[in-house]
Structure 1
Amino acid sequence: MCRGLAGLPASCLERAKEFKTRLGILLHKPELGHKIGNQSHSTKQRYALEEVLGWKESFDHLLKSKSGMTAFQGFLKTEFSEENLEFWLACEEYKKTRSKTKLASRANKIFEEFVQNEAPREVNLDHETREVTRKNLTVVTLACFEEAQAKTYTLMEKDSYPRFLKSAYYRDLIEQATSHRTGKPAHT
């Protein structure tokens, strides 16, 4: 068994490091921890019931809805995993880059922010995908992040999205949309 500092297993040290990072995020994001029913958003977002219920159709459908993406991002913040969506969005924006001179600098910025080991908002990628992505940056193209983005999408689709649909966060959104539709106040 691999041992780390003071005889602790390496996995314990990894969890402790992750906990420390997340605690630091909490200290800098005072809006976290507030119940969505009280709308911690600075602007109170109202959703149509049909729209909120439509997010169940598919993950792709959710991402195509601007308000669906906002709601999903709010949920991911409660789980401290918003970096996955932020990386996916950064890749989508990157693919729209038309200036060859900006391509390399944007690619390096995305890599340093999300992909490299110990990145500030490191996404969960296996070593092989991380290495392929690093090698792709030697000759920058619009497809540099294709594999990493696809893996992140699959992770969100198979993991975060089902949790979102089962969450109290999503149920609160449905309740708010229902009460807005009927004119009855939502329970807080």
Structure 2
Amino acid sequence: MCRGLSALPTSCLERAKEFKTRLGILLHKPEMGYKIGNLSRGTKQRYSLDEVLGWKESFDCLLRSKNGVAAFHGFLKTEFSEENLEFWLACEDYKKTRSKTKLAVKANRIFEDFVQNEAPKEVNLDHETREATRRNLTVATSACFEEAQAKTHTLMEKDSYPRFLKSAYYRDLTEQASGHRTSKPIHT
């Protein structure tokens, strides 16, 4: 029987978080095989310098860029924290759904995947927001996840996005876009 993370002693959770952080740091190091590329297919993706620098203007500018979202998602994967962005994207897709039947099905799937306690990709929401979202599912509308999505957006904007902009991942994207090589010169 799986007891979930809440059943583990606090010291185990702290060690697991520390391990996750250390593993994420290792994935950032170029000598450990870290590469920038098309994040969904594994092929190398080139971005223009204007595009990459444009992502610094604001978090919303980043989210409006398909390539920006892909790059941000790739960064979040190196930190094992992509669930917030995936939830936000699922909510954006959900809001475009017009069929009442499909709304209900998608709402339940999003709730089970991201919102309910111990969901496979559980996002960090306070109890009140989680319960309000659960109540919203009784009548699925395009606004069911509005509050939860807004809180997730704010969390990413205040936490993940600044880390992304300061990261070696973003720096590498900028250097690739500007055509600079980061390899060491060969001495003869």
Partner deviation per Cα, 1:19-71 (whole Å, 9 max, x = no partner): 79x6xxx9xxxxxx63135x484110101011101110000000101111110
Matched residue type, 1:176: Q
**Could you say which residue in structure 2 is the equivalent of 1:149?**
149
Structure 1's 34 and 132: CA in aligned 2 closer, same or farther, altered over 3 A? farther
Tell me which moved more, 10-19 or 41-50. 10-19
CA contact (8 A) 1:73 1:85 kept: yes
Between the aligned partners of 1:133 and 1:16, the Cα distance in structure 2 is: 31
**Could you say which residue in structure 1 is the equivalent of 2:85?**
85
**Could you say which residue in structure 2 is the equivalent of 1:121?**
121
TM-score by length of structure 1 reads: 0.81
CA contact (8 A) 1:115 1:122 kept: yes
Q: How many residues align?
A: 168
DSSP-derived class of the 1:120 partner:
coil
CA contact (8 A) 2:175 2:181 kept: no
Identity of paired residues, percent?
69
CA contact (8 A) 1:52 1:68 kept: yes
**Could you say which residue in structure 1 is the equivalent of 2:183?**
187
Between the aligned partners of 1:16 and 1:129, the Cα distance in structure 2 is: 28
Between the aligned partners of 2:11 and 2:152, the Cα distance in structure 1 is: 25
CA contact (8 A) 1:34 1:40 kept: no
Q: Which runs of 5+ in 2 are unaligned?
A: 1-5, 25-31
TM-score by length of structure 2 reads: 0.81
**Could you say which residue in structure 1 is the equivalent of 2:132?**
132
CA contact (8 A) 1:116 1:130 kept: yes
Q: Which runs of 5+ in 1 are unaligned?
A: 27-32
Between the aligned partners of 1:126 and 1:177, the Cα distance in structure 2 is: 39
Task: Note if 1:178 corresponds to 2:174.
Answer: no
**Could you say which residue in structure 2 is the equivalent of 1:95?**
95
Task: Note if 1:52 corresponds to 2:58.
Answer: no
